[in-house]
Structure 1
Amino acid sequence: MKPALTIALAILLGGATYISAQTAKNDHSQTMDHGTHMNDDSSAISLLTEPGQGAFAALSEIIMVLEADPETDWSQVNLGALRDHLVDMDRLVTHTTVKELELTNGVRVLASGDADTIATLRRMVPAHAAELAKDGRWNVEVNESPEGLELTVTSADSAVIARIRGLGFFGLMASQDHHKEHHMMMVRGENAHRN
């Protein structure tokens, strides 16, 4: 065998062995000891900002805030309510079917889906519409229909009309940065939908 070929094979086999060892080391199996794993490289872990799935991350973040606050009344904490709301948020984004109709002064959105999605829409859209309505640059109206909900957002300002159309249904539902405060109120057992 030629020396160059021998060296190339040695490098390939060595690399494959290294990759295999790293894959086995990083396998998140049922036998993994989280306590031991967490001590492997705490400096790298502290750089991470997202502990995986979004709802899990939101719950984890809220728990850290609650634990850091000596005024937390644990008898009022309701993480289950937040979890249910996070499921609704996910369902709204991933399961809602929308038909957006351009109006001369904004947009009308017909939002629908299966029975669970319609229930989610009826819980979430009116509450988010109330937040949107706090912005005096546009008018917001929500009406229930047998197929789901109808959301109409309009304005007299051409720049705001362009913004409304650009945001569309999902952007409108995600805008107005009230979500974190809303989630904290929910977890603390407060009325998150009061005006």
Structure 2
Amino acid sequence: MTTIRRTACTVLGIAALLATREVEAQAHAHTPGMTHPGAAALPTQAGQSAFAALAEIVQILEADPRTDWTKVNLERLRLHLADMDLVTLRTRVTSTVVPGGAQFVVRGTGDVAAAVKRMTGAHVTMVTAAGGPNVQRTELVDGVRLVVTAHDVNDAVAVARIRGLGFIGFLTSGDHHGAHHLALARGDTMAGHGH
């Protein structure tokens, strides 16, 4: 009985090995137009998000023959991305409903408070220029107070949107961020943002 079991196990082991080799051979078989996924596939993200954002900007700058490398300042963009991280992840935000919108008191200590002031100052300027909601910005010792209201305080959808977005939604809204980042990296003096 023991010899039969050993023989059966050996036969099953050999069959499993042959089946595995057949599957591997089929997986590596070539057909016309076929590529190896492992050889062609590359990650689309360059790692941590700030690093990936910088890498994307570098690719754009390198691809543009008009780039004036004497003005390029990636450190300025890196500092801005650090501010974005501080404001997004390290602030304390208190939201209060006000007629026609919301009030956001955004606070932090040290570098966080400074980042809040820089980020909101630049964003409020952009929002105003783009015809966004009304924004009153007041600097505090440890941050800012933003009162964001709809142009028409009786527009229930616009008011609900402001309240629903909250502070971080307000800060991330708009289609100017990519252009702003590129302008910072290019050394554009009109890019603003205190760095």
Q: Which amino acid aligns with 1:179?
A: H
Shift of 1:68: 0.6
Q: Which amino acid aligns with 1:44?
A: A
Question: Which residue of 146, 149, 153 maps to 2:148?
Answer: 153
Q: Which amino acid aligns with 1:163?
A: R
In structure 2, stretches of 5+ residues that fail to align are 18-36
% identity of equivalent residues: 41
Instruction: Assess, with a 3 A threshold, how the Cα gap between structure 1 residues 69 and 42 changes in structure 2: closer, same or farther.
Output: farther
Question: Which residue of 28, 41, 48 maps to 1:53?
Answer: 48
Q: How many equivalent residue pairs?
A: 160
- Give 2:120's aligned residue: 125
- Give 1:179's aligned residue: 177
CA distance in 2, matches of 1:76, 1:134: 26
- Give 1:114's aligned residue: 109
In structure 1, stretches of 5+ residues that fail to align are 15-39
CA distance in 2, matches of 1:63, 1:120: 24
SS of aligned partner of 1:171: helix
Q: Which amino acid aligns with 1:60?
A: A
- Give 1:83's aligned residue: 78
Alignment root-mean-square deviation, CA: 2.3
Q: Determine if contact 1:137/1:160 at 8 Å carries over to the other structure.
A: no
CA distance in 2, matches of 1:136, 1:83: 28
| Bigger Rg, structure 1 or 2 | 2
Structure 1 residue 101 and structure 2 residue 100: aligned? no
If the length of structure 1 is used for normalisation, what is the TM-score? 0.75
Shift of 1:67: 0.7
1:102-135 deviations in whole A, cap 9, x for unaligned? 1121000100011111100111101101122234
CA distance in 1, matches of 2:143, 2:182: 28
SS of aligned partner of 1:50: coil
Q: Does 1 or 2 have the higher relative contact order (CA < 8 Å, sep 6+)?
A: 2
Shift of 1:182: 0.4
- Give 2:40's aligned residue: 43
CA distance in 1, matches of 2:130, 2:118: 21
- Give 2:191's aligned residue: 192
- Give 1:23's aligned residue: none
SS of aligned partner of 2:70: coil
Q: Determine if contact 1:100/1:108 at 8 Å carries over to the other structure.
A: yes
CA distance in 1, matches of 2:55, 2:66: 18
Instruction: Assess, with a 3 A threshold, how the Cα gap between structure 1 residues 110 and 76 changes in structure 2: closer, same or farther.
Output: same
Q: Determine if contact 1:106/1:154 at 8 Å carries over to the other structure.
A: yes
